[in-house]
């Protein structure tokens, strides 16, 4: 099972380097290439919520892992696939690249079932490089844009769809499936030898893809750069498949996300019904689930109509249709989920800032000096610094949360964490703007404005602070948002709430495409030159970074205002000794009139 981490590490690295592939090989404008990558990253994050629903309601973790692993994998039986789909060239050529991602992602989610071929995920990505299908498509084999046919472009965008499917599927199910294997019987028979074997095996499994990543950085051929992850992922999938008979597979138990839909449908169906004056007349059941009962609240009172007991029908008959009558606890869980939306919208702009890390920062690094003395440093070192910043600052946040928890203020730790992450976002944009201004000055001083392919005599290590800061932003934000949502939503909705938080950040990635477009249009008003030109040397990314800095500052102020007016639910983590809700003393003590009556 652990070998499936190969797929995540190697596919993640392949996508991290995608900016260079699109600008160096496809010769796309750097804003165009960034738009493709950010749409991909945004869709991958947004897909987590529906994927979790599929796992809980239909597939289970094993089948989700199997499907997502095959989406990664490559089993190439016939290299004439591009020719077979050549009929669509005249259509696809008119579709802009960003929109092709949006159009082909849903198509790519269907697994091809032709018996003559099986080409998926990283295999598609490898095949989309010019040399692989040069003979089949009648194109040249050089890494030049004229050697990339429309059939290869179809393969590329389909590969993005399948890799997105694989990434989201693994993020959803890999950790949960590993946890399912550690049943009580397994833990009882867990010897020291077994522990040592598992420990060593885990480290070997992790070191193999890391070694592959380091090796890939010194390979110049993109077909091999993509091919090595494809082969490693295929091996990992086969190893995982070979142990299928020994896995402990838990069947899907149903999705708690249906609660939200049932409450909305039931409330809508009783739109013209009048809420009772006393909240204890709303429907609730008591039994084995007493510990999970939630008290009635005065927020979003219109949703209380989902729990109205109609006097014209027998209660037993209404109880049979769960889409017409919902428990108060289910209504309250829906309220808690919906009430988090205004606060979560303030997280979107953090995703906009995060989106520049694996796009514009990478493109800047690509044209700077990679030498440290006489030693040539691969660009992947920046990914390591980003990851270290993310991990170390996340640990600092955790220590802060524990310290505040000891002082009785644990409720505020996640809120402070989000604010701190926004401060890091502001600092990151400011430093990035200053470094870019210096880079442009070096470009002008050495007469490299019209030489975009030339390396700038400025060390790539100037970019380290902004990579570390954007890592700190992501690390603290992810942990803080997860803690807020986990604590504030109902018990059955916690898993979905966490995925919702990630999806909000994904919206920020996609929103970065819009922000670049709007900034470009506004900057060229009055006949001025747009900030975004065909090359970095002619563009003014520093001004865009400054714009992001002050917009993030405005967003921080908006977040503080929303957080101050938000009525937080009493933290279950803050006082674990608090008594549970006791239904014997009466179900509710709320006689307020519903605002929607």
Mean pLDDT of the region 8-33: 84
Please list, residue by residue across 275-288, b when 16 or more beta carbons sit within 10 angstroms of its beta carbon and e when fewer do. bbeebeebbbeeee
Indicate whether 75 pLDDT > 50: no
Distances 277 to 502, 584, 596 between C-alpha atoms, Å: 39, 21, 12
In this structure, of 117-121, 184-188, 310-314, the range with the lowest mean pLDDT score is 117-121
Query: E strands along 382-484, which residues?
Result: 456-459
The pLDDT of residue 445 is 92
Mean pLDDT of the region 45-56: 91
Mean pLDDT of the region 451-473: 91
The yes or no reply on domain 340-565 and CATH 1.10.287.70 is no
Tokens of 366: 């690509």
Of 5 and 594, the structure prediction assigns the larger pLDDT to 5
The pLDDT of residue 509 is 94
Q: How confident is the model at residue 511 (pLDDT cuts 50, 70, 90)?
A: very high
The pLDDT of residue 549 is 96
Indicate whether 471 pLDDT > 90: yes
Of 530 and 204, the structure prediction assigns the larger pLDDT to 530
The pLDDT of residue 149 is 83
In this structure, of 198-207, 314-323, 581-590, the range with the lowest mean pLDDT score is 581-590
The pLDDT of residue 519 is 93
Give the single-character DSSP code of 413: H
Q: How far apart are CA 420 and CA 22, in angstroms?
A: 34
Mean pLDDT of the region 164-183: 80
Q: Does 340-565 match 2-243 at the fold level?
A: yes
Q: Could you state, in order of their start, the residue ranges of all structural domains in the chain?
A: 2-243, 258-337, 340-565
Task: Work out the angle at residue 48's Cα, subtended by the Cα atoms of residues 45 and 49, and round it to the nearest 5 degrees.
Answer: 120
Of 559 and 151, the structure prediction assigns the larger pLDDT to 559
* Number of other CB atoms surrounding residue 394 within 10 Å: 19
Which range of 65-79, 86-100, 154-168, 198-212 scores highest in mean pLDDT? It is: 154-168
Range 274-277 contact pairs with CB under 8 angstroms and sequence separation of 24 or more: 274/597, 275/301, 275/304, 275/305, 275/308, 275/593, 275/594, 275/596, 275/597, 276/308, 277/591, 277/593
The pLDDT of residue 86 is 35
Neighbour-count burial of 419, counting CB atoms closer than 10 A to its CB (0-12 exposed, 13-18 middle, 19+ buried): middle
The pLDDT of residue 590 is 42
Homologous superfamily in CATH for domain 2-243: MFS general substrate transporter like domains (1.20.1250.20)
Mean pLDDT of the region 115-129: 59
Mean pLDDT of the region 426-449: 94
Strands 375-376 and 371-372: antiparallel
Please give the full DSSP string across 19-50, using - where no structure is assigned.
HHHHHHTS---HHHHHHHHHHHHHHHHHTHHH
Mean pLDDT of the region 330-348: 89
**pTM of the predicted model, to two decimals?**
0.82
Model confidence over 418-427: pLDDT tens digits? Answer: 999 999 999 9
Question: Positive or negative, the Cα torsion across 269, 272, 278, 281?
Answer: negative
Indicate whether 280 pLDDT > 70: yes
**Mean of the per-residue pLDDT values of the chain:** 78
Distances 559 to 165, 350, 353, 429, 546 between C-alpha atoms, Å: 32, 11, 16, 18, 20
Indicate whether 71 pLDDT > 60: yes
* Cβ within 8 Å of residue 279, ≥6 positions away: 296, 304, 328, 588, 590, 591, 592
Mean pLDDT of the region 399-416: 71
Q: How confident is the model at residue 298 (pLDDT cuts 50, 70, 90)?
A: confident
Question: Positive or negative, the Cα torsion across 138, 142, 148, 154?
Answer: positive
Q: How confident is the model at residue 582 (pLDDT cuts 50, 70, 90)?
A: very low
Of 280 and 7, the structure prediction assigns the larger pLDDT to 280
Strands 368-369 and 456-459: parallel
* Cβ within 8 Å of residue 76, ≥6 positions away: 117, 118, 119, 123, 127
The pLDDT of residue 310 is 86
Indicate whether 406 pLDDT > 60: no
The pLDDT of residue 1 is 57
Cβ proximity of 356 and 41 under 8 Å: no
Cα 76 from chain centroid?
A: 29
Mean pLDDT of the region 511-523: 93
Of 45 and 184, the structure prediction assigns the larger pLDDT to 45
Tokens of 476: 């603290």
Indicate whether 361 pLDDT > 90: yes
Indicate whether 485 pLDDT > 80: yes
Model confidence over 493-510: pLDDT tens digits? Answer: 888 888 888 899 999 999
Cβ proximity of 205 and 3 under 8 Å: yes
In this structure, of 329-343, 429-443, 511-525, the range with the lowest mean pLDDT score is 329-343
Mean pLDDT of the region 148-159: 86
Indicate whether 320 pLDDT > 80: yes
């Amino acid at each position: 099972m652990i070998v499936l981490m190969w797929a995540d590490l190697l596919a993640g690295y392949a996508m991290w380097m995608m900016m260079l592939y699109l600008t160096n090989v496809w010769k796309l404008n750097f804003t165009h290439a960034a738009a493709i990558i950010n749409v991909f990253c945004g869709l991958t994050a947004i897909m987590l919520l529906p994927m979790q629903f599929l796992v809980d309601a239909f597939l289970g973790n094993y089948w989700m892992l199997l499907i997502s692993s095959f989406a990664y994998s490559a089993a190439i039986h016939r290299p004439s696939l591009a020719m077979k789909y050549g009929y669509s060239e005249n259509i696809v050529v008119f579709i802009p690249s960003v929109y092709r991602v949006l159009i082909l992602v849903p198509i790519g989610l269907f697994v091809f079932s032709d018996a003559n071929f099986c080409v998926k995920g990283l295999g598609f990505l490898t095949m989309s490089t010019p040399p692989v299908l040069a003979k089949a498509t009648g194109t040249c084999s050089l890494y030049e844009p004229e050697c990339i046919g429309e059939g290869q472009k179809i393969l590329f965008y389909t590969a993005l769809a399948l890799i997105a499917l694989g990434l989201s599927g693994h993020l959803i199910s890999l950790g949960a499936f590993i946890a399912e294997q550690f049943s009580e019987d397994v833990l009882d028979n867990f010897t020291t030898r077994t522990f040592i074997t598992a420990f060593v095996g885990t480290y070997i499994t992790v070191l193999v893809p890391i070694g592959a990543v380091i090796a890939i950085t010194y390979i110049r051929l993109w077909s091999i750069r993509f091919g090595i992850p494809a082969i490693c992922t295929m091996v990992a999938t086969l190893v995982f498949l070979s142990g299928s008979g020994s896995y402990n597979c838990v069947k899907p138990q149903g999705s708690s996300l249906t609660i939200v839909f049932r409450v909305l449908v039931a409330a809508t169906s009783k739109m013209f019904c009048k809420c009772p004056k006393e909240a204890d007349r709303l429907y609730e059941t008591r039994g084995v689930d007493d510990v999970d009962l939630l008290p009635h609240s005065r927020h979003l009172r219109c949703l209380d109509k989902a729990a109205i007991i109609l006097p014209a029908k027998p209660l037993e008959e209404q109880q049979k249709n769960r889409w017409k009558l919902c428990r108060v606890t289910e209504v309250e869980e829906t309220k808690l989920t919906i009430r988090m939306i205004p606060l979560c919208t303030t997280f979107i702009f953090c995703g906009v800032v995060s989106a520049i890390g694996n796009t514009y920062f990478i493109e800047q690094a690509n044209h700077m000096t990679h030498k440290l003395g006489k030693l040539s440093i691969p660009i992947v070192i920046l990914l390591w610094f980003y990851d270290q910043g993310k991990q170390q600052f996340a640990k600092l946040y955790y220590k802060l949360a524990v310290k505040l928890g000891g002082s009785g203020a644990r409720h505020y730790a996640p809120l402070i964490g989000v604010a701190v992450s926004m401060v890091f976002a502001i600092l990151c944009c400011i430093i990035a703007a200053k470094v870019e201004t210096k880079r442009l000055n070096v470009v002008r001083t050495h007469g490299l404005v019209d030489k975009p392919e030339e390396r700038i005599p400025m060390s790539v290590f100037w970019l380290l602070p902004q990579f570390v800061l954007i890592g700190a932003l992501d690390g603290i934000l992810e942990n803080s948002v997860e803690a807020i949502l986990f604590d504030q939503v109902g018990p059955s909705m916690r898993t979905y709430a966490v995925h919702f938080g990630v999806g909000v950040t994904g919206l920020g990635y996609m929103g970065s495409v819009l922000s670049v477009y709007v900034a470009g249009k506004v900057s060229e008003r009055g006949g001025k030159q747009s900030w975004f030109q065909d090359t970095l040397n002619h563009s003014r990314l520093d001004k865009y970074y400054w714009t992001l800095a002050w917009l993030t500052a405005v967003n921080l102020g908006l977040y503080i205002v929303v957080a101050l007016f938000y009525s937080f639910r009493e933290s279950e983590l803050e006082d674990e000794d608090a008594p549970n809700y006791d239904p014997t003393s009466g179900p509710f003590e709320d006689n307020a009139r519903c605002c929607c009556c």
